[in-house]
Chains A and B, each alone.
Chain A
Amino acid sequence: MSTFELPVLRNAATQTLNPIRDIRDLLQYWNLIANLVQRDLTVRYKRSVFGFLWTMLNPLLLMIILTVVFSSVFRFEGIEHYPTYFLSEYLVFGFFAQTTVQSMTTLAWHGSLMKRVRVPKSIFAVATTLSGLANLCLAYIPLFLIMAFTGSPIGWAVLFLPVAFLIIAAFTLGVSLMLSALAVYFQDVSHMYQVATVGLMYMTPIIYPISIVPYKWLWLIRINPLTHLFKLARDPIYQCSLPGLHVVGASVASAAVALVVGWVVFHRLARGFYLHL
């Protein structure tokens, strides 16, 4: 019929793991990703006038509560500008926790869709991560306001933040892929994980300084990849300095491992989705 090259769909039982094919597939559906993200954000911000304001107000109000609690009830010695210390990591933790939890519901929610039209199944985790990333960037506006208000210094190192976000997002995407695929098979994964996120938050020095951790538990904090990942976002803001090479190294390594493991697990489990969704 036509002499130019036709797209060929090879739907075979034995599909080898091929990251390039998967990435090309995702890029082909870029328009869908953009649509999903746009939909996500419109629902959040456009529908209610306060939607947008809430993302701003949320950290602000939380900050007031935590400032009261941690500066008059519990006190961590030697933390100047506590609001900046806390928020610079809490915001990224919020991004990580929300995105991973939401990726499970999004995948299940789009289940009927995947049975009826051919879309790359990982597209939902990618879209959820991207809209989480957009929300994260917006949440930094109130943080900078608080910093200006409390006299916390802002240095050139903030320019490192986009790189930090990218590494954290890659890690988050890997975890999202794995969890969302598991949650399709087992309903209790989502419940268990929501409890686990609370544990994760206390296993990471977000609200407290690492110096108060007893020596015998220090290893637990150290092996927690989130400790290093979140430090990527804290150092440029709180220390006004670039994170150390070992922090960057540990973060990039955990992000790479999470992405590869998450993608392989997702790929394996995705074939049976239609029986469970």
Chain B
Amino acid sequence: MATPAIEFRDVSLRYRLLAERGIVTLKEWVIRRLTTGMTYQELSALADVSFAVESGRTLGIIGHNGAGKSTLLRIAGGILAPTAGEAIIRGRIAPIIELGLGFEGELSGRENIFFNGALLGRSRNEMQERFDEIVDFSELGEFIEQPIRTYSTGMVARLAFAIATTVDAHILLLDEVLSVGDEQFRRKSKERIDSFRRAGVTILVVSHDLDAVEKMCDDAMWLEHGVIRRSGLAKEVVKAYRTSMDPGQAEPGVGGTVRLAGP
């Protein structure tokens, strides 16, 4: 079997929070250090999570709020570093975690495209080459030269999505962003994600939309309190998750001894 595109090996993200809130100055810190000492509270967002995604597969991550889904995605994108274990990502990543980063209202759509591209680590040449394609997909036309403070919310979202997805990538990280724009644009963006799948791009997607996960993912992983509750084929995992949410069933969260918290 080929080396997986995404590999998590016993990844944990735990952190200590000061039990006494509000130590924000160096002075207080020094005084506390010298006198009473500090007590910390251990929190865990992810605990010993291991999995692998083969190249070209799509893995959906489901679970309740605070289960560690976004944390996992951010570790995969290299935004957060784990406190134990390691995540290895082989290939060029296109993170579609937060759209429109660094957008500046006063600057034109054109200028924002280049700055946003730079934030995503792309070169000026690459942005230049893809510029027309981005404008095309975002359906902004003439507006691209206007400052984006004059845009509607939908226009901003379309531009952001177009920049994020107009890229040659091996790995796509998706965080609940398919709900931008109007119905027509949503269909268009779904089509684009599908074309990535057909091209053999590996996709990691976090979503609350169980139908969408069932439809577009090969596999799924159910996270609860930072641990993997179940993983396998998307259909089966989603089914198990649905059953657990049924009021007639056992209360979800049994077995989760780890305290949850999202950063």
**A residues adjacent to B (C-beta < 8 A):** 1-2, 6-13, 15, 28-29, 31-32, 34-35, 39, 113-119, 182, 185-189, 192, 271-272, 274-275
Contact = CB atoms under 8 A, between A and B. Distances in A.
A277 to B, nearest CB: 10
A271 B78 CA distance: 12
A7 B86 contact: no
10 contacts: A6-B91, A8-B88, A11-B75, A12-B81, A15-B81, A116-B79, A117-B95, A119-B121, A186-B24, A275-B263
Contact of A115 (B15, B79, B81, B88): B79
Interface residues of B, number: 47
A117 B55 CA distance: 23
A114 B79 CA distance: 7
The 4 nearest A-B residue pairs measured at CB: A12-B86, A186-B26, A188-B25, A116-B98
Secondary structure call for the A interface: mixed
A15 B87 CA distance: 12
Interface of B: 12, 15, 17, 24-27, 29, 55-56, 75-93, 95, 97-98, 101-102, 114-115, 117-124, 170, 200, 263
A10 B90 CA distance: 9
B170 A6 contact: yes
Given A1-B56, A35-B118, A186-B26, A7 B79 contact: no
A271 B75 CA distance: 12
Contact of A13 (B24, B81, B121, B123): B81
Nearest to B2: A1
B91 A7 contact: yes
Given A11-B86, A12-B85, A32-B121, A186 B79 contact: no
A6 B101 CA distance: 26
B197 to A, nearest CB: 13
Contacts of A31: 117-118, 121-124
Contacts of A9: 78, 87-90, 93
Contacts of A12: 81-82, 85-87
Contacts of A189: 26
A117 B15 contact: no
A192 B26 CA distance: 10
Contacts of B122: 31
B263 A274 contact: yes
A118 B15 CA distance: 20
Given A11-B78, A113-B102, A1 B92 contact: no
Given A8-B88, A113-B102, A192-B26, A29 B121 contact: yes
Nearest to B26: A186
B119 A187 contact: no
Given A9-B93, A275-B263, A1 B55 contact: yes
B253 to A, nearest CB: 25
Given A1-B56, A275-B263, A7 B92 contact: yes
Nearest to B6: A9
A7 B89 CA distance: 8
Nearest to A183: B26
